[in-house]
């Protein structure tokens, strides 16, 4: 780690504000459509929401709703990670444990139709298609930090809505204390599921108060488009103050319960991936430090923040720590 750059905080150097790589790629996309180099430069500069060419793994669920308006409360002016990295460097073990292979292996993954069930200790159980869920509440864009337990990180614009809105609609009963989330179970479409060492399907969970927190979202899109398959189409959960594995992809079931749910990662290795899993630079993973993280596009090393930078919003949920 000879070239480690520790930056004082999350205000990353200005030189990264227009990533050259993203700019060049956009130019290539547009040129492919027959734009001249000059026109491409103009369009690239003036229409950042323009998506002229399909990205790998693209989906089109309710695409007329994108891009959604960015919520000014979650627009911290950080430099976004290069979307080409975000779309091609993925943890999605149902497809592969190799991050760069996922985007290729999602080709036969079908995400429509996509039935979702909301069940358990609630007054208003629901069965609906992902498209109905995506249309149920107004969509907004939020720029969040995202921190994987493996010590890589990114800053991305998610589209979605607060999970609390859905929870208010289904009305948990007084007994409900936890929310369990379950991913699809389609081994015929997801080659990684042949690895029977993992307790498929992928499951995750939150305490009810964590699920109700305004930072917790149902994400339906990324970079102004419906979620690509490799990033968890058609809908996933995003919990920005916890390690990335809590942000479960491609969910089919949300269940309200009075017992702390067993998660896939906790079942595999409880001391490495416990249920709570709040980002904490002071607590190393048993096999590596969590003090710093590597930005996936620039490779910069930055200091990891308690609760991934969201302490002011969420520390009160954890009075004992």
Ligand X SMILES: Nc1nc2c(c(=O)[nH]1)N[C@H]1C(S)=C(S)[C@@H](COP(=O)(O)O)O[C@H]1N2
What is the contact surface with ligand X in residues (CB under 6 A)? 90-94, 148, 183, 202, 231-232, 244-245, 247-250
Q: Does 91 bind Mo ion (CB under 5 A)?
A: yes
Nearer to Mo ion, 97 or 321 (CB): 97
Work out which of 40, 148, 155, 206 binds Mo ion, going by CB under 5 A.
148
Nearer to ligand X, 60 or 272 (CB): 272
Work out which of 120, 157, 244, 309 binds Mo ion, going by CB under 5 A.
244
Give yes or no for a contact between 155 and 143, defined as CB atoms under 8 angstroms apart: yes
- 53-72 burial string, b = 16+ CB within 10 Å, else e? eebebbbebbeeebbbeeee
Nearest distance in Å: CB 268, Mo ion: 13
Nearer to Mo ion, 172 or 244 (CB): 244
Nearer to ligand X, 205 or 232 (CB): 232
Binding site partner of 90, from ligand X, Mo ion, none, Cβ cut-off 5-8 A by kind: ligand X
The residue range among 144-152, 154-162, 227-235, 251-259 that interacts with Mo ion, by the rule CB under 5 A, is 144-152
**Residue 316 CB partners (closer than 8 Å, separation 6+):** none
Binding site partner of 249, from ligand X, Mo ion, none, Cβ cut-off 5-8 A by kind: ligand X
Strands (E), the chain: 115-120, 126-129, 140-147, 152-162, 178-183, 203-207, 217-222, 225-226, 236-238, 251-257, 292-295, 301-303
Give yes or no for a contact between 5 and 301, defined as CB atoms under 8 angstroms apart: yes
Place of tokens 């594995």: 245
Nearer to Mo ion, 105 or 121 (CB): 105
Helix (H, G, I), strand (E, B) or coil at 39: helix
């Amino acid at each position: 780690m000879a070239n480690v750059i520790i930056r004082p905080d999350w205000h990353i150097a200005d030189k990264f504000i227009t990533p050259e790589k993203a700019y060049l790629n956009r130019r290539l996309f547009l040129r492919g459509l027959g734009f001249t180099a000059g026109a491409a430069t103009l369009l690239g500069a003036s229409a950042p929401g323009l998506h002229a060419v399909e990205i790998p793994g693209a989906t089109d669920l309710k695409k007329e709703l994108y891009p959604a308006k960015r919520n000014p409360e979650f627009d911290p002016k950080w430099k976004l990670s290069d979307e080409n990295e975000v779309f091609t460097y993925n943890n999605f073990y149902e497809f592969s444990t190799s991050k760069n292979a996922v985007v290729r292996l999602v080709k036969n993954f079908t995400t429509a139709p996509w039935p979702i069930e909301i069940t358990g200790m609630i007054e208003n159980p629901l069965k609906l298609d992902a498209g109905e869920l995506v249309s149920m509440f107004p969509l907004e864009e939020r720029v969040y930090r995202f921190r994987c337990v493996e010590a890589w990180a990114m800053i991305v614009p998610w589209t979605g809505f607060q999970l609390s809105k859905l929870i208010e609609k289904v009305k948990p009963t007084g007994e409900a204390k936890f929310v369990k989330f379950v991913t699809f179970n389609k081994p015929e479409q997801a080659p990684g599921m042949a690895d029977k060492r993992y307790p498929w399907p992928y499951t995750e969970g939150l305490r009810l108060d964590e699920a109700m927190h305004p930072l917790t979202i149902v994400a339906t899109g990324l970079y102004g488009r419906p979620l690509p398959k490799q990033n968890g189409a058609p809908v996933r959960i995003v919990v920005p103050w916890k390690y990335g594995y809590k942000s479960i992809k491609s969910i089919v079931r949300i269940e309200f319960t009075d017992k702390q749910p067993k998660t896939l990662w906790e079942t595999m290795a409880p001391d490495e991936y416990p249920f709570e899993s709040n980002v904490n630079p002071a607590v190393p993973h048993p096999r590596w430090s969590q003090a710093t993280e590597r930005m996936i596009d620039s490779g910069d090393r930055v200091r990891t923040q308690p609760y991934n930078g969201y302490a002011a919003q969420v520390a009160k949920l954890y009075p004992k720590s």
